[in-house]
């Protein structure tokens, strides 16, 4: 089960030492409490691709990290299936914004990370090959990450994530830093992958077009403290096209206005 239920999620960060300590009372609390996420309630269904949009610094990544088990909620809880998420596990694999590949391992070794408990070496090799082929990295198995382009690194990381057969994929800005063509191609690949595998996929992005093209549902979050501003089911057929689908195009304008960039409309 890859369903996620977020209940009253609130996150407060303590910014220590951003003010000089008071001389008269050194024990005075000198940090600022920053309310990042405020009372968020969301539900993601099994097999759904949800795109989370929001202005930069709004706490989308923080929410994602809490869902992944890297961070804890201050209040509220996140349920994965029936049980609360306590720590990070291979049930939900996180795809990092900047490469999370181990630079000291080859592509094949990285893809094999989640398969290391397989006793049968031939089966393990077959699984590695399968996922390397899925992301079209055949011939690069023995390359180290730094020998690959940015796009290839992302694909390798995707292969590593999928090879574990997780219940859920969590992607933090998966296309940031890629050139336009690579971005378009990667986006298509992620959509195809999702159509094919139907895994619960959470994608944080600041790119409205990405969210509208990819998502089964989009969630728009407000600036800090972050709350859910809009949740919208996207029932448009794929492949999606803004030109062909005036409703999609209209929704795009609305979201631009919502995020405070009317000039982009």
* 17 touching other proteins, by CB under 8 A: no
Selected range binding other proteins among 17-25, 97-105, 237-245, 248-256, rule: CB under 8 A: 97-105
Selected range binding other proteins among 25-33, 81-89, 188-196, 212-220, rule: CB under 8 A: 81-89
DSSP state for residue 238 in the 8-state scheme: S
What span, in angstroms and rounded, lies between the C-alpha atoms of 263 and 47?
35
Closest distance to other proteins from the beta carbon of 157 (Å): 9
Selected range binding other proteins among 36-44, 45-53, 54-62, 98-106, rule: CB under 8 A: 98-106
Site string for other proteins, 110-129 (x = CB under 8 A): ---xx---------------
Here the contacts of 128-135 (C-beta below 8 Å, separation 24 or greater) are 128/163, 131/159, 131/160, 131/162, 131/163, 132/107, 132/108, 132/159, 134/159, 134/162, 134/193, 135/159, 135/189
What span, in angstroms and rounded, lies between the C-alpha atoms of 166 and 115?
12
Nearer to other proteins, 119 or 146 (CB): 146
* Residues from 49 through 78 that contact other proteins (CB under 8 A): 68-70
Binding positions for other proteins, rule: CB under 8 A:
68-70, 87-90, 93-94, 96, 98, 100, 102-105, 113-114, 144-146, 164
């Amino acid at each position: 089960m890859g369903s996620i239920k977020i209940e009253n999620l609130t996150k407060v960060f303590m910014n220590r030492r951003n003010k000089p300590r008071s001389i008269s009372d050194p024990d005075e609390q000198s940090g600022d409490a920053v309310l990042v996420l405020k009372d968020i309630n969301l539900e993601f269904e099994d097999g759904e691709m949800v795109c989370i949009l929001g202005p930069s610094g709004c706490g989308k990544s923080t929410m994602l990290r809490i869902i992944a088990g890297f961070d804890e909620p201050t209040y509220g809880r996140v349920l994965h299936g029936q049980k609360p998420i306590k720590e990070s596990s291979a049930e939900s694999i996180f795809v990092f914004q900047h490469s999370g590949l181990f630079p000291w391992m080859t592509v094949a070794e990285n893809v094999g990370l989640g398969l290391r408990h397989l006793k049968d070496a031939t089966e393990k090799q077959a699984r590695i090959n399968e996922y390397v082929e899925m992301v079209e990295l055949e011939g690069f198995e023995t390359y180290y990450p730094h020998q690959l382009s940015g796009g290839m690194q992302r694909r390798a990381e995707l292969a590593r994530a999928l090879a574990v057969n997780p219940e859920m994929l969590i992607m933090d800005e998966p296309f940031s830093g890629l050139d336009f063509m690579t971005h378009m191609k990667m986006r298509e690949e992620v959509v195809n992958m999702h159509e094919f595998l139907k895994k619960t996929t959470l994608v944080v992005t600041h790119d409205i077009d990405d969210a509208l093209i990819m998502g089964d549902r989009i969630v728009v979050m407000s600036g800090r403290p972050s709350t859910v501003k809009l949740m919208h089911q996207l029932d448009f057929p794929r492949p999606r096209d803004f030109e062909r689908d005036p409703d999609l195009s209209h929704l795009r304008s609305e979201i631009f206005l919502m995020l405070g960039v009317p000039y982009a409309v």
